[in-house]
A and B are shown apart, each in its own frame.
Chain A
Amino acid sequence: MSKTLIIAEHDAHELNPSTAKCASCAAAIGQDYDVVVLGSGIDNIAGQAAAIDGVGTVHAIDAEHLASPLAANHAAEVCAMAEGYSHILGPSTTFGKDLMPRIAALLGVNQVSDIAAVTGPHDFKRPIYAGNAIVDVQPPQEVAVVATVRVASWPSAADGGDAAIEARAANATPCGHTRYVSLQSGGGERPDLQSANRVISGGRALASEENFELIYKLADLIGAGAGASRAAVDAGYVPNDLQVGQTGKIIAPDLYVAFGISGAIQHITGIKDAGTIVAVNKDADAPIFEIADIGLVGDLFTVIPEMMQLLE
């Protein structure tokens, strides 16, 4: 039977919103779908996955060596349970991008990266050239489809599911060659960039880590996530996890506000699916104005404090 398996993403405390987005893609493929949660101490996560609408079974593989998301360990487990699944989906987050190609190679297939739309169970649309072209791709029917789901293209599947949870024993032995050391998390308490409804971003123009406080303050005032251009990250004003764009996060908030960002194609790639794009830039010729729904030619250092006063 044709069935889809979704690899859950989580940080041991919470299921990542990317999993519910994969579920929307799975629903579009039109077959029954299950979720597998890999990790250590994951009862809570499995419960969250079971609540996603439409999920058939949640497989929970709980083992100490799965505590950190090392692709070599996770790929071996997924391959051990792959039989019976015609499609295996993971998110196009760094977690999925790291893991899914390893699974694909072990199963002997190419991966479909970044599914943006489904036109049939073996017929997908995906972006190439930083989103400047869209291609229709058809993976073969007779082997498993391994794919990443472009999370910015998909809504979160609703809650309300009540899937059965089945514990499974780990099958493969831990790989000895790769060891997890640590995670230095940049993120504070602000909404997660990839699921925030509103995002306030700053570019090179912010000119320092201290000045970036302006972006954070405005973001906090309206409950937005904070983002940045590559230039701002490279210069050390903000941690890397704030980067939006081709090599950062691809996001689709209802509102995206860019302060002092010129609008290079690699940045635009990351925000093309936003509902409304606002740009504030002191250069009237900045390319970002070509795609902004609302533009303001002005100095961000005066505009932001004025906005805050009006919004308070």
Chain B
Amino acid sequence: MRILVGIKRVVDYNVRIRVKPDGSGVDTDGVKMSINPFDEIGLEEALRIREAGRAEEVVVVSVGGDECQQQLRTGLAMGADRAIQVSTADSLQPLSLARVFLKLVEKEQPGLVILGKQAIDGDNSQTGQMLAALWDRPQATFASGLDLTGDTATVIREVDAGLETIEVDLPAVITVDLRLNEPRFVKLPDIMKAKRKPLDVIALDELGVSAENDIQVTQHTSPPQREKGILVEDAAQLVTELKNRGLV
């Protein structure tokens, strides 16, 4: 079985982002970029499945400009077998991304496509569900447990009410949540080895997909900031303050 893993290059989760003064976007100049944290977990899961002998190949995919090769190399250093960059200067909205993944699915015939539950820049949480719809295959979103037996996957999903278990036939799309696993650290020799692993570049139009970003984004603004309030000395003052404000 082959596993496709989506990897998005995003502003590192530790960076405090700022909206550009002219509202045209978010300032990413000189900012640390990383693999979307959910995607790192998705890749870790794929590697564990391969290491358990249930998959032969793990392919990491990123859609973006050449700079995303950096994240693909990190994915190869973590242990992916090969990488595909679908090259485009535009940042695609989820439906176009799902169409890209569908084309790759047709080419690569994976048993599993593992994506993050959301990209922490756009916070869309759409791509995996959309791919599953277009492919007419099962989706198991927000996975915190994954168990493969034969041609089915049993997935534990983190939902608002608790933990839901579903069973899906393969091939399927899984989107992963934070508690699925803890990704491994990349070791130096692996970074050297990753340089020799194959990284194919496919132009977006070669796949026959166009960037249909039909939702217009016109203005970025900073959210209202909360002000620092008062400090109280002890529990008694705290309770008095809460009572005065009618909160308890």
Contacts and interface: CB of A to CB of B under 8 A. Distances in A.
Kindly name the residue among B133, B142, B158, B160 whose own CB sees the greatest number of chain A CB atoms within 10 A. B160
Contacts of A121: none
Contacts of A280: 238
Given A71-B129, A101-B94, A276-B245, A133 B159 contact: no
A175 B135 CA distance: 13
A69 B163 CA distance: 14
A113 B123 contact: yes
Nearest to A239: B162
A70 B166 contact: yes
A290 B226 CA distance: 8
Contact of A111 (B94, B219, B248): B94
A40 interface: no
Contacts of B44: none
B234 A306 contact: yes
Contact of B219 (A97, A136, A289): A136
A72 B134 CA distance: 11
Kindly name the residue among A103, A128, A179 whose own CB sees the greatest number of chain B CB atoms within 10 A. A128
Contacts of B158: 94, 240-241
B129 A102 contact: yes
Interface stretch (B12-20, B61-69, B81-89, B193-201): B12-20
B95 interface: yes
Contact of B223 (A99, A132, A241): A132
Kindly name the residue among A135, A266, A276, A298 whose own CB sees the greatest number of chain B CB atoms within 10 A. A135
Interface string A98-111: 11111111101111
A75 B133 CA distance: 9
B215 A112 contact: yes
A165 interface: no
B236 interface: yes
A106 B218 contact: no
Contacts of B160: 93-95, 194, 241, 249
A129 B121 contact: yes
Interface string A40-84: 000000000000000000000000000000111001000000000
A137 B94 CA distance: 15
B163 A104 contact: no
Nearest to B20: A133
Contact of B133 (A106, A110, A129, A187): A106
B138 interface: yes
A296 B238 contact: yes
B239 A135 contact: no
B130 A179 contact: no
Interface in B154-208: 154, 157-169, 172, 177-179
Contact of A291 (B11, B98, B169, B226): B226
Interface string A132-162: 1111111110010000000000000000000
Contact of A296 (B98, B127, B232): B232
B112 interface: no
A140 B215 CA distance: 6
Given A198-B247, A295-B232, A101 B220 contact: no
Given A105-B130, A294-B238, 13 more contacts: A98-B159, A113-B124, A114-B123, A129-B17, A137-B216, A180-B166, A184-B164, A198-B248, A233-B179, A239-B162, A272-B223, A278-B242, A302-B235
In the complex, the 9 A-B pairs of residues with the closest C-beta atoms, listed nearest first: A306-B235, A293-B229, A101-B129, A105-B130, A105-B133, A101-B126, A181-B165, A185-B162, A94-B159
22 contacts: A94-B142, A98-B141, A98-B159, A100-B129, A105-B131, A113-B126, A128-B26, A129-B123, A132-B223, A136-B221, A177-B137, A181-B166, A187-B161, A234-B178, A240-B144, A241-B160, A272-B223, A289-B228, A290-B228, A296-B234, A298-B234, A303-B238
